[in-house]
Amino acid sequence: MSKKAFKKAITMFSVFMTMVTAGTCINTYADSGTEYTVSGFVKPEFISSSSPNSQLSGFNITVEGTQISNQSDSKGYFELTNVPSSNSSITIRLSKAGYLTRPISIMPISSNIFLSAKGLPIDIWAGDFNGDIAINMADIIEFAKGFNAVSTGEKYKEVLDINNDGAINMSDIMIIINHFGKTANDYPGNITSTIVAQSPTPTVTSTPTKRPTATPTVTPTVTPTPTKVLTPTPSAVAGKVTYILIKVSSPTADQLSAYQAITAAMDKAVSYYNQYTNITLNLKVYYEPTVATADANFNGTIRFGKKEYMNHITAMHEIAHTTGVGTTSQYRALIVNGNFTGTNATNQLRAISGNQQDVLHGDSQHFWPYGLNYTSEVKSENDLINHCKIVNAMRKDMGF
């Protein structure tokens, strides 16, 4: 063998050994032989009232890098059994033809894991017809091939009939465009798994959508509206939360519509804070179309972007940020191993639930339960009241 050939062989051998070593490094499963169950609920974002079972079933749930898989049933429930223990986080993938695959990274496996409750399932977006993990023009082209087809026609493809009404038409397009241009990376922050017993009954299921907390930009020419101070029941009022909605001097029709929606949202949100907390805040609120959802800052500023977020639930969530929740070092210092460790807030949660083992979960920006991170979390007025009570207790823990 020539010297040149020998060097080439050595180089190839080195590359091979590097690959083998890398493969060994990414193997996260322990050899303990212990196996666990990962379960939860999944649903498409849009469900037809006439045929929900067929839409909820058939989602493929797999553990990345393994052959462990199962499918969701007619209620959207899935269960992966015999998942081996792991020493680092693993990825669960949820997929179905016509939907954008959703990856979920979860904690190292050392117990049974419940990813989502029936009342707060994991949403999957429709529109990825070619399976390239994106909703884009390629999918629109694929959709066009069956456009205007009905279930009795040759061009009809069930996967294109998103609302399952027997026709492929504009109503399906309206669902697709909700997330056009999105990829798997655009799904809300990873679901936070909950350690459970064999029969899971979790109280929290998903990580909230991350909303930016950057300092807002303000339109130069503004006219403040009068301060709102709502006092629903004099004997119950404890908080003193007020706000000013900053308006441009010559608003467009779009801005006028936004101002009306924001006012209604803030009025209702402030009324809850003033009834069920003793927090004092003076807030400035803006309509800023460039904001993706809504955001808030500890300096007392709240910005609303898209119209669908101009509701009292989102407003209460953002008010929490102005109190210091997720926007201060005092808050983050109390987050330890995924839990908010403040005594007042923990005791308040346990008083609400009646369970002395309950803990308040949180990350660098949000908390749950009762964080109002999704509008779907609110099932009754009690959820709004409990949110206020916990934020009030958290603020005490933060020393404000």
Structural contact between residues 161 and 167, judged by C-beta atoms closer than 8 angstroms: yes
Helix (H, G, I), strand (E, B) or coil at 232: coil
In a shared domain, residues 105 and 146? no
Would you say residue 208 has pLDDT above 90? no
Q: For residue range 334-345, what is the model confidence (pLDDT) as tens digits?
A: 999 999 999 999
The answer to the question of residue 174 being in a domain is yes
In sequence order, what are the beta bridge partners of 81? Answer: none
Strand 339-340 with 360-362, pairing: antiparallel
Would you say residue 309 has pLDDT above 60? yes
The answer to the question of residue 132 being in a domain is yes
In a shared domain, residues 252 and 397? yes
Q: For residue range 286-304, what is the model confidence (pLDDT) as tens digits?
A: 999 988 889 999 999 999 9
Rounded Cα distance between 317 and 295, Å, is: 9
- Residue 59 has a pLDDT of 94
Of the three residues 144, 166, 195, the one that is the final residue of a domain is 195
- Residue 4 has a pLDDT of 58
Q: For residue range 131-146, what is the model confidence (pLDDT) as tens digits?
A: 999 999 999 999 999 9
Residue 309, by phi and psi: left (phi above 0), alpha (psi -120 to 50) or beta?
alpha
3-state SS string for 330-379: HHHHCEECCEECCHHHHHHHHHHHCCCCCCEEECCCCEECCCCCCHHHCC
In a shared domain, residues 258 and 332? yes
In a shared domain, residues 249 and 390? yes
- Residue 229 has a pLDDT of 40
Would you say residue 206 has pLDDT above 60? no
Strand 113-114 with 360-362, pairing: unpaired
Would you say residue 26 has pLDDT above 80? no
Band of the pLDDT at 268, cuts 50, 70, 90? very high
Does the predicted model carry a pTM greater than 0.85? no
In a shared domain, residues 243 and 380? yes
The answer to the question of residue 364 being in a domain is yes
- Residue 22 has a pLDDT of 39
Of the three residues 137, 161, 195, the one that is the final residue of a domain is 195
Q: Write out the two tokens for 289.
A: 């179309």
In a shared domain, residues 342 and 257? yes
Would you say residue 18 has pLDDT above 60? no
The domain that holds 120 is classified in CATH as 2.60.40.1120
Q: For residue range 54-107, what is the model confidence (pLDDT) as tens digits?
A: 889 999 999 988 889 999 999 999 999 888 877 777 889 999 999 999 998 876
Would you say residue 21 has pLDDT above 70? no
Band of the pLDDT at 203, cuts 50, 70, 90? very low
With a pLDDT cut of 70, the percent of the chain lying above it is 78
Q: For residue range 350-386, what is the model confidence (pLDDT) as tens digits?
A: 999 999 999 999 988 899 999 998 888 888 899 999 9
Would you say residue 282 has pLDDT above 80? yes
- Residue 19 has a pLDDT of 41
Give mean pLDDT, residues 24-39. 57
The domain that holds 169 is classified in CATH as 1.10.1330.10
**Angstrom distances, CA of residue 92 to CA of 9, 39, 109, 219, 230:** 39, 10, 12, 44, 46
- Residue 23 has a pLDDT of 37
Higher pLDDT, 170 or 199: 170
In a shared domain, residues 214 and 145? no
Higher pLDDT, 203 or 76: 76
In a shared domain, residues 96 and 234? no
With a pLDDT cut of 90, the percent of the chain lying above it is 50
In a shared domain, residues 361 and 250? yes
In a shared domain, residues 376 and 227? yes
Among 31-45, 85-99, 115-129, 251-265, top mean pLDDT goes to: 251-265
Band of the pLDDT at 217, cuts 50, 70, 90? very low
In a shared domain, residues 137 and 263? no
The answer to the question of residue 15 being in a domain is no
Would you say residue 213 has pLDDT above 50? no
Question: Residue 280's domain spans which residues?
Answer: 208-400
Would you say residue 227 has pLDDT above 60? no
- Residue 31 has a pLDDT of 42
In a shared domain, residues 88 and 191? yes
The overall average pLDDT reported for the chain is: 80
Q: Of 69-78, 84-93, 172-181, 242-251, give the lowest mean pLDDT range.
A: 84-93
Strand 280-287 with 240-248, pairing: parallel
Would you say residue 201 has pLDDT above 80? no
The runs of H, that is alpha helices, within 277-342 are 312-322, 329-333
Of the three residues 195, 221, 246, the one that is the final residue of a domain is 195
The answer to the question of residue 30 being in a domain is no
How many domains does one find in the chain?
3
